[in-house]
Amino acid sequence: MASIPTDPRFAPFADKMRKEGLSESVVAAFGHSYMELVGGASGMIGEDTITGVATLPNLATDIKGVISPDPSLLEQTVVLKLNGGLGTSMGLDKAKSLLVVKGTNTFLDLTAKQVISMRKEFKLGVKFMLMNSFNTSTDTLNFMTKYTSISEDPNLELMQNKVPKIDKSNNAPAEWSLNKHLEWCPPGHGDLYTAMYGSGKLDELLSQGVKYMFVSNSDNLGATLDLDLLTYFASKDLPFVMECCNRTEADKKGGHLALRNADNQLILRESAQCAKDDEKSFQDITKHKFFNTNNLWVRLDMLKALMESKGGFVPLPTILNSKTVDPQLSDSTPVFQLETAMGAAIECFAGAGAVVVPRSRFAPVKKCSDLLLLRSDAYLVDSNNVLVLSPKCNGVAPIINLDDKKYKLVQHLEAATTGGYPSLVGCKKLTVRGEVWLSARNVFQGEVTVVNDSAEPKVLPAGVYTDGTTVDLTSAPGLGALRPTPVRTTPFDDQKPGTSGLRKKTKKFMDGAYLHNFVQATFNALLTVPGMELSDGALVVGGDGRYFNDKAIQVIVKMAVANGVKRVIIGQNGLLSTPAVSAIIRERGPTWKKSFGAFILTASHNPGGPDEDFGIKYNCENGGPAPEKLTNAIYDVTKTITSYKICESFPDIDLASCGSQVIQSGDGSLRVAIDVISSTETHVGLLKTVFNFDAIASLIARPDFSMKYDCMHGVQGPYAYQALVKELGAPVSSLMNFTPKDDFGGHHADPNLTYARELCDVMGVDKAGNPMPEIANPPCFGAAADGDADRNMILGRKFFVTPSDSLAIIAAHADIIPYFALQGGLKSVARSMPTSGAVDLVAKKLNLQFFETPTGWKFFGNVMDSKVIFKGENLSPVLCGEESFGTGSDHVREKDGLWAVLAWLSILAHYNKDASSAFVSVEDIVRNHWTQYGRNYYSRYDYEGVASAAANGVMNHLRGQFATLPGTAFGKYTVATADEFTYLDPIDNSVSKNQGIRVLFTDGSRVVYRLSGTAGSGATIRVYIERYENNPELLALITADALKELAAIGLQVSNIPALTGMESPTVIT
């Protein structure tokens, strides 16, 4: 039975903790600490109450070689790593154990590999656990999935508890309505015992025959499971053993081991428990010789007996910390945070012991100085994945003293070591004062000091620096144009990127540091990706030419250089289509110049101009959009960002002229290359390998062929001109609106029947997709592109091809395209869930792999990269499409409007090889397809600019009918099911929820509802209506007539007119 304080002052705390579901053991332990606080306990341990510990058993001389190690004990042992810390003092916002420490290995990598190595060596199942906190649990468990033999253990995680903060003014529970999460704090690693007891893990381990526990910090890679120590611990039948090291002058301010005079019990005294008058004795390393490494050995059966005798907790001494309830706000409510230390349990176990261990078992990373040492050649990873001191160091680790002000955060160390890590294997002591950039070409021997008292970073020249050297870089040449300047900023609360990046009004991006914050957040997030080095490879930058494109590029370039990027590739005039960026990342070489990613400046089909929309998205090294894990990381940074880096003196780039230039630092140590390239060369060159350009050219040369391609004043113009006019011989008159404009000519560059009216009027197609009889002899083929050139609309003479039909027809004719034919044929097709099922029928007939995904090209990317990235089945070549006029293949990792146009021209060329035969039209091809496969009548209603509250109201209204709609009859249609689409990705096993509401009818018809955010222009409600028909006599209906009854049902069920005030859609496609 837990012993809970009955003092009325504690009652509000007990109630609050129970409402959070915390165990009675946690309540009792916190109650013990609280009563010490209100009881006036100082927590001090007077020098006159203790005696220094004279001697302890020594691992090296008294245990190793003396006691025979017993491997059978491993099956009775659990290794537990404390993993609750975020490393915020070093600038981290994730589990500190996920920091790369050696090569590409994080702390957790090496720890996991050590456990696996020991299991293999002794052929025994050594148990492994992590004590995570609510801050570290998700990231850690996701990371550990790579080690299936560990991650699949249901007992892997022990969750650290949380306890209330205490209002200093009245000792009551602290309240903070702005963020209730901040009313809680971690209780320190002394919570280990309470967490094990209260969660039932202690009993579970004991029931499995586990008797011994070895505990250490996750950032201490020297703390490995030592079989000699385990055997010693077991043979002595001790309840608790602390590993200690000999104190040195460098350790004198830290805690120490002592004997309590009253009962000769070993205890731990921390600096916070030492009165000022006792400081001299506290720091006397000849009297108090040993400090706690936080490597502990615990007998679990004796731990349980102790806790039950004390009322369900270990009565650890309380550590009192004074804070503010919001650590970011110094003027927020002052609070106490009560913590305990697990090592202090040594005073609670009668007969507890301690052992002196070598410094090699104590190698924690508390500062960047520690991290630099471990990353250098002074430490090696041995065959058992243990980080060990290099033999060349002769058993003594170098002392590293980096300037704490200049190297406080990991980001500072990363920026200072982009050229690699210096050689420290021959170094005794390295002192760095000021900001100095080091590299792998720096070799330190003996004791070396480097000084930079200037206000800017200085690069230490390559060379060997010998014992006794002091290098003063204060007056040395600086970085000049490559000098990064940190600029203070504050977070914006609306920078969560969607599936297509971050889109807002242009003026929002132009306001202050809005763009700067997002770009810096992206660079910061990229640094958390294992193996990512911003200095390796190139960054691609370009956009669709909308207003602010040119100025944003200059900002991004200057920030990229400040963040360590050494090569930037920019499209001429700042123009790069979205598919062209993907092509450049994937295709442009040589390898050492390959791109690691790109910033694409686009808001896709949204209007452009100073009063319209702007956007930015990041694409990764595979050429595809950033995955959700990365966009979430970016968003997390945007919420806490305090500064960005920019090279303010870096010259503006001449975007009009192609060519390369190298900008060098003032001291000659650094160089940055800027390549302004042809916007079209790489992409068009790739497409020439995908399609048979000779066959298409023959089609275009036919006297009875004509075409119009409306680029809508977006970025597609230069690509269409290069491919269709220069390469294929089409007359310039075939192109419409092909000069890019920053406002798209004042139009909405969205290729559909509403906004591409100029083209539709030429082609003889009305707003409903029906023929316009009054138009005489329109062109044979028509197409339109959106602002960033990834979308397409296909038209025939007085004939509209729905995006869903377009996808299905390309799939049915894939073998006429060399890209598919020469790879053994099309293998897989994928469509977004709202897209009609037309392509499903083709996939079934041709025995193709089929995937139905949520809307968003990134989901197709997983299918495309199933083998290369995910090491699964090879699903390529792949054809993908969305009903929102997006089509493409795995030649790039974005939808590709020009690709779709060339695919249709290839199909037309296939049917029209004989110039003497009657021309086979787009309409002929589509109607023939319907005859073979049936027709999916399909339409989309877009309600644009809907207030968010009203749009969400519609969706909630639909969700409220999930239980009642099934079985309901609406005329000839009866609802089969109503649900919200959830996607389990078969490639990476990720789950995407809330991907659209579906009302499915018994005859296979359906109505789908989705919300789509469109930057600052409000929300868009999209309603998708589909009916399948295979009766030959019913294949030529007008789409609106075929879907009239079903559309009315869709509006009745959703109640859109009443809930939004919109009587009709903005756009019908």
Contact 102, 382 (CB under 8 A): no
Q: Residue 1017's pLDDT is what?
A: 59
Q: Greatest CA span in the chain, whole angstroms?
A: 112
**Model confidence at 764: pLDDT above 90:** yes
Q: Residue 869's pLDDT is what?
A: 65
Relative to beta strand 240-246, strand 256-260 is: unpaired
Contact 294, 268 (CB under 8 A): no
Q: Among 1009, 1004, 862, which Cα is nearest to 937's?
A: 1004
Question: CA distances (Å), 591 to each of 538, 582, 594, 596, 621, in order?
Answer: 10, 16, 5, 11, 12
Q: Residue 2's pLDDT is what?
A: 63
870 pLDDT band, cuts 50/70/90, is: low
Q: Is 1001 helix (H, G, I), strand (E, B) or coil?
A: strand
Instruction: Read off the pLDDT of each residue in 292-297 and give the average, rounded to a whole number.
Output: 95
Sheet strand arrangement including 50-52: 50-52, 256-260, 265-269
**Identity at 749, one-letter amino acid code:** A
Q: Among 331, 260, 356, which Cα is nearest to 48's?
A: 260
Q: Residue 573's pLDDT is what?
A: 98
Q: Is 1066 helix (H, G, I), strand (E, B) or coil?
A: coil
**Identity at 101, one-letter amino acid code:** V
**Model confidence at 683: pLDDT above 90:** yes
**Model confidence at 1014: pLDDT above 60:** no
Contact 570, 580 (CB under 8 A): no
How far is residue 617's CA from residue 1067's CA, in Å, rounded to a whole number? 26
Vertex 373 angle, CA 369 and 375, to 5°: 115
How far is residue 726's CA from residue 729's CA, in Å, rounded to a whole number? 6
Listed as own residue / partner, the contacts of 387-393 with beta carbons closer than 8 Å and 24 or more positions apart are: 387/101, 387/102, 387/110, 387/221, 387/222, 387/363, 388/360, 389/360, 390/425, 392/425, 392/426, 393/425
CB-based contacts of 1056, cutoff 8 Å, min separation 6: 943, 954, 1021, 1023, 1062
What amino acid positions are annotated as catalytic residues? Answer: 604
746 pLDDT band, cuts 50/70/90, is: very high
Tokens encoding 311: 């009322």
**Model confidence at 739: pLDDT above 90:** yes
Q: Is 411 helix (H, G, I), strand (E, B) or coil?
A: helix
How far is residue 499's CA from residue 885's CA, in Å, rounded to a whole number? 16
CA dihedral defined by 213, 219, 221, 226, rounded to 10 degrees? -10
Relative to beta strand 485-488, strand 613-619 is: unpaired
Greater model confidence, 556 or 858:
556
Q: What is the pLDDT of residues 449-486, one digit of tens each?
A: 999 999 999 999 999 999 999 999 999 999 999 999 98
How far is residue 493's CA from residue 384's CA, in Å, rounded to a whole number? 46
Relative to beta strand 735-736, strand 707-710 is: parallel
**Model confidence at 120: pLDDT above 60:** yes
Q: Residue 170's pLDDT is what?
A: 94
868 pLDDT band, cuts 50/70/90, is: low
CA dihedral defined by 917, 918, 921, 926, rounded to 10 degrees? -80
87 pLDDT band, cuts 50/70/90, is: confident
**Model confidence at 3: pLDDT above 90:** no
CB-based contacts of 392, cutoff 8 Å, min separation 6: 425, 426
**Model confidence at 862: pLDDT above 90:** no
Q: What is the pLDDT of residues 231-245, one digit of tens each?
A: 999 999 999 999 999
Instruction: Read off the pLDDT of each residue in 966-993 and give the average, rounded to a whole number.
Output: 88
Q: What is the pLDDT of residues 822-856, one digit of tens each?
A: 999 999 999 998 999 999 999 999 999 999 998 88
Q: Is 348 helix (H, G, I), strand (E, B) or coil?
A: coil
Crossing angle of helices 803-812 and 897-911, rounded to 10°: 50
Listed as own residue / partner, the contacts of 325-331 with beta carbons closer than 8 Å and 24 or more positions apart are: 325/165, 325/174, 325/176, 325/182, 325/183, 326/176, 326/178, 326/179, 326/182
**Model confidence at 657: pLDDT above 90:** yes
**Model confidence at 322: pLDDT above 80:** yes
Sheet strand arrangement including 799-801: 735-736, 707-710, 781-785, 792-796, 799-801
1 pLDDT band, cuts 50/70/90, is: low
Tokens encoding 422: 């210096």
Q: Residue 159's pLDDT is what?
A: 92
Contact 243, 226 (CB under 8 A): no
**Model confidence at 1015: pLDDT above 90:** no
Q: What is the pLDDT of residues 247-289, one digit of tens each?
A: 988 788 888 999 999 999 999 998 888 888 999 999 999 999 9
Q: Is 930 helix (H, G, I), strand (E, B) or coil?
A: helix
**Model confidence at 1016: pLDDT above 60:** no
3-class SS letters over 141-200:
HHHHCCCHHHHCCCCCEEECCCEECEECCCCCECCCCCCHHHHEECCCCCHHHHHHHHHC
Do you find a cis peptide bond into 771, omega within 30 degrees of 0? no
Q: Residue 177's pLDDT is what?
A: 87
Q: Residue 1013's pLDDT is what?
A: 65
Report the DSSP beta bridge partners of residue 832: 853
CB-based contacts of 837, cutoff 8 Å, min separation 6: 804, 936, 1026, 1028
pTM above 0.75, yes or no: yes
Instruction: Read off the pLDDT of each residue in 532-548 and give the average, rounded to a whole number.
Output: 93
How far is residue 191's CA from residue 215's CA, in Å, rounded to a whole number? 13
Q: Among 808, 803, 941, which Cα is nearest to 883's?
A: 803
Q: What is the pLDDT of residues 697-722, one digit of tens each?
A: 999 999 999 999 999 999 999 999 99
Q: Residue 828's pLDDT is what?
A: 95
How far is residue 259's CA from residue 798's CA, in Å, rounded to a whole number? 96
How far is residue 961's CA from residue 65's CA, in Å, rounded to a whole number? 74
E strands in 566-625: 567-575, 595-601, 613-619
Q: What is the pLDDT of residues 907-940, one digit of tens each?
A: 999 999 998 899 999 999 999 999 999 999 999 8
Q: Among 192, 692, 659, 107, which Cα is nearest to 386's?
A: 107
Q: Is 78 helix (H, G, I), strand (E, B) or coil?
A: strand
Q: Which of 138-152, 881-895, 1015-1029 has the highest mean pLDDT?
A: 881-895
CB atoms within 10 A of CB 4: 18
Greater model confidence, 43 or 176:
176
| pLDDT, mean over the chain | 92
Q: What is the percent of the chain where pLDDT is above 90?
A: 75
**Model confidence at 627: pLDDT above 90:** no
**Model confidence at 608: pLDDT above 50:** yes
Q: Residue 601's pLDDT is what?
A: 98
Vertex 634 angle, CA 633 and 638, to 5°: 115
